Amino acid sequence: MQTNYIGDKVIETSYKNSEKRPPILDMADAEILALMPRMDWDRPPWNRWSFQRIRSLMPTAQVWRGNGKIMPIPRQEKDISQIEFTRSNEVSQTIEAFLDDTYTDGFLVMADGYIVHESYHNGMRPETPHLMQSVSKSITATVTGIMIGRGELDPSTLVKTYMPELAETAWAGATLQHVLDMTTGVQYSEEYTRLDSDVGKTDVASGWRPIAPDATSDIDWPASVWDQILSLKTCDAEHGSRFLYRSIETDLLAHIMMRVSGSPLHKLISQELWQPIGAEEDGYFTVDARGYGLASGGFNGCLRDFGRFGQLYLDDGMCHGKQIIPQDWIADVRRGEHGLWSEERRKLLPNGCYRNQFWIEDETKESFMCLGVFGQLIYIAPTYNMVVVKLSTWPNFLDDDFKLDTQLAIHAIAAELGKHVDPR
């Protein structure tokens, strides 16, 4: 562990689960909260504490699980800890060691509808909510799919039809499908380490971060996420001509859903998804100054409920004999027109693509993923009839080696369970 300092206090950049927790995080929560720099709550080592305590840091809105029955998940547990696989650096490692190396907080493997493995690390418990970052995008879009299935939204419709204010923005000529696939031409920089980038402005607008003390006075900081949406006036590509990952697209999607439904996002997710799947715990969204739940990254929930969400996609949208997600939507995620991708993303997923706010691992095999920075993952593999959920607190926003190694670990687990990849 590298050594850093806050004043005369020694801290480490991060710590693995097998290592001793640094003294800076071995105090009462109130003491940690008082000492933690507000600008750095999601940076190491603070994220190893904060991702399980978001309600202590900022305002949130409850995604109520309802008062219905919890959907049980049967168990056929197996010891997967000693399964060996070869990581991307050609080093052989066990699953147990891999989970430690990749700063895991929770890990769940479900096969054929059964829990095969469930483990908690870094002080996390089954009832602990964990920040999901951009996994929130896939959860939000799933409710979009439900509304499309009911005819309340149409992917081919221009977004300005739903929100006339958008005629004065860069989204004027974009369709809902363009927004779902992040293929609009709207200019928006997703540079996580630049505090004055567009996504940095979203952090401020959403209430995630204060304005940096050393920020120049000429920066126009939006007061809310909606204000930022209305401020984006420039296109740098023709709509539908490219894929470019931009978080603000999901926030626009959520505002359209809210306008059409008349409900705030947290209530939509509760009514359309969290209650119908028989969630075990409430979820919640972080909210901005206007009370808007951050669709692009602010959802929090517990490990098993994310397993239930993934299982719903494996079960063709059916739960308790009721069609929750339209089959057409699920088929489109698995096998839709996955034509657009980028060379940058091809380095990690050579045959991948992006559809309806899901990452397609390989467009020839139907496996798809919900991904969030710092290591959040829901992996859904119809070929294996498996769901894997990994909650993490990596030291870095992005780590392509960790991403690739996680996929390799999942394939090794599937092979050990007797699952075989579709040879197509």
Separate counts of helices (H) and strands (E) for the chain: 14, 17
Write down the pLDDT at residue 424: 35
Write down the pLDDT at residue 217: 83
- Write the DSSP string, 356-398: TTEEES-TTT--EEEEETTTEEEEEETTTTEEEEEEE--SSS-
Write down the pLDDT at residue 282: 98
Phi, psi values for residue 403, rounded to 5°: -60, -50
Count of beta carbons in the 10 Å neighbourhood of residue 198 = 21
In whole angstroms, how far apart are CA 145 and each of 141, 164, 178, 274? 6, 22, 14, 15
Burial label for 176, CB within 10 Å (0-12, 13-18, 19+), is buried
Token pair for residue 131? 């920040």
Q: Which amino acid is at 361?
A: E
Write down the pLDDT at residue 421: 57
Write down the pLDDT at residue 310: 98
Q: What is the mean pLDDT of each run of 10 residues along the chain (424 residues)?
A: 44 85 92 93 96 97 97 96 94 97 98 97 98 98 98 98 98 98 96 83 95 85 96 97 96 98 98 98 97 98 98 96 96 86 86 94 91 97 96 94 95 90 46
**What whole-number distance in Å separates Cα of residue 14 and Cα of residue 21?**
9
- pTM, two decimals, is 0.95
Count of beta carbons in the 10 Å neighbourhood of residue 397 = 15
Q: Give the residue from 358, 357, 395, 360 showing the smallest Cα distance to 375.
A: 395
Write down the pLDDT at residue 12: 55
**E strand or H helix at 117:** strand 114-120
